[in-house]
């Protein structure tokens, strides 16, 4: 593991979980990268291409869950593609085997494998690997965030009007229309808005200083569990609506000094509802 850990009870568990997460994410990322047909994006509108992406997604999740079952059979699981078991150890893994499936389908590089481990509702480790970027981001609770083993740190806070903000959109038409209205109002008030297509990578881009902030409605725990920890450990603030934690209504991550005004403005604009 890269990064300092203080000598506290539970550190050995965190080191073990992080090592497992890093290895599982690497293996799944290699499977997705090397197993993607070179011509997949050429027929991106064909059902057969969608099926290939689904098969790769399921194969990556099976690789991860089999590996976790081998290393820590008593742990619980929560996965995007249906893997869900309660476990008995008190540790639960939260897995997104392929975050950014449309990017993957079209041959865009911003897709990732996201793996987090939590205990008692608190995320202990998070790993996001983006094979086509050649980057792996990781964090352990209280030990900082890293990208390819080097410390990751958020940017200094800009004025709101100079902030570069990332976001994402849902798949339902009504939700997309509401999200478009939020963007319409917010865009003139900031430097610009980016839509990358992977929530996990967007959160890591906040951690690495490539975005000043990020928000999105409609995320599931597997979309943000690892990335949120990485962003926080890099110095970002995270949450949902004012006074609430990140959840399916709204997830916000931003540098200190920008977080509060961005969160407040998003709440005013109704970014938390359709």
pLDDT in tens, 21-52: 999 999 999 999 999 988 786 554 545 677 88
pLDDT at 80 (0 to 100): 80
pLDDT at 77 (0 to 100): 96
Same structural domain for residues 15 and 145? yes
Q: Is there a domain that residue 6 lies in?
A: no
**Is a pLDDT exceeding 90 seen at residue 78?**
yes
Same structural domain for residues 35 and 135? yes
Q: Is there a domain that residue 3 lies in?
A: no
pLDDT in tens, 180-222: 999 999 999 999 999 999 999 999 999 999 999 999 999 999 9
**Is a pLDDT exceeding 80 seen at residue 9?**
no
Same structural domain for residues 92 and 50? yes
Kind and range of the H or E element at 103? helix 101-106
**Is a pLDDT exceeding 70 seen at residue 94?**
yes
Same structural domain for residues 22 and 144? yes
> How many domains does the chain divide into?
2
Q: Which residues constitute the domain of residue 166?
A: 160-268
Q: Is there a domain that residue 212 lies in?
A: yes
251-254 vs 237-239, strand pairing mode: antiparallel
Distant-in-sequence, close-in-space partners of 270: CB < 8 Å, separation ≥ 6: 178, 182
Same structural domain for residues 136 and 15? yes
pLDDT at 3 (0 to 100): 55
Q: Is there a domain that residue 189 lies in?
A: yes
**Is a pLDDT exceeding 90 seen at residue 10?**
no
Kind and range of the H or E element at 55? helix 47-71
Distant-in-sequence, close-in-space partners of 43: CB < 8 Å, separation ≥ 6: 49
Q: Is there a domain that residue 1 lies in?
A: no
Choose between 80 and 137: higher pLDDT. 137
pTM of the model: 0.94
pLDDT in tens, 135-163: 999 999 999 999 999 999 999 999 999 99
In DSSP notation, 106-138 reads HT-S--EEEEEEEETTEEEEEEEEETTTTEEEE
Cα 195 to Cα 226: distance, rounded to the nearest angstrom: 19
Cα 137 to Cα 114: distance, rounded to the nearest angstrom: 10
pLDDT at 6 (0 to 100): 45
Same structural domain for residues 17 and 126? yes
pLDDT at 5 (0 to 100): 55
């Amino acid at each position: 593991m890269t990064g300092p850990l203080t000598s506290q009870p539970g550190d050995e568990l965190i080191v073990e979980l992080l090592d497992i997460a890093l290895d599982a994410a690497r293996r799944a990322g290699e499977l997705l990268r090397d197993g993607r047909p070179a011509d997949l994006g050429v027929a991106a509108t064909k059902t057969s291409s969608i099926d290939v992406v689904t098969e790769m997604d399921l194969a990556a999740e099976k690789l991860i869950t089999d590996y976790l079952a081998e290393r820590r059979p008593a742990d619980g699981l929560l996965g995007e593609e249906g893997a869900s078991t309660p476990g008995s150890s008190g540790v639960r893994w939260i897995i997104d085997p392929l975050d950014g499936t449309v990017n993957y389908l079209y041959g865009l590089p911003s897709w990732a494998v996201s793996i987090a481990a939590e205990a008692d509702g608190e995320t202990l480790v998070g790993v996001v690997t983006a094979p086509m970027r050649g980057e792996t981001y990781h964090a352990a609770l209280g030990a900082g965030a890293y990208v390819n083993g080097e410390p990751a740190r958020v940017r200094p806070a800009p004025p709101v009007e100079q902030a570069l903000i990332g976001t994402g959109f849902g798949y339902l038409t009504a939700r997309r229309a509401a999200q478009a209205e939020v963007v319409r109002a917010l865009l003139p008030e900031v430097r610009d808005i980016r839509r990358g297509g992977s929530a996990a990578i967007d959160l890591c881009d906040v951690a690495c200083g490539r975005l000043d902030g990020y928000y999105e409605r409609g995320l599931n725990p597997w979309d943000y569990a690892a990335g949120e920890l990485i962003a926080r450990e890099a110095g970002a603030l995270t949450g949902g609506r004012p006074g609430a934690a990140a959840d399916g209504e709204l997830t916000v991550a931003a540098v200190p000094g920008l977080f509060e005004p961005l969160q407040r403005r998003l709440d005013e604009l109704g970014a938390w509802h359709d």
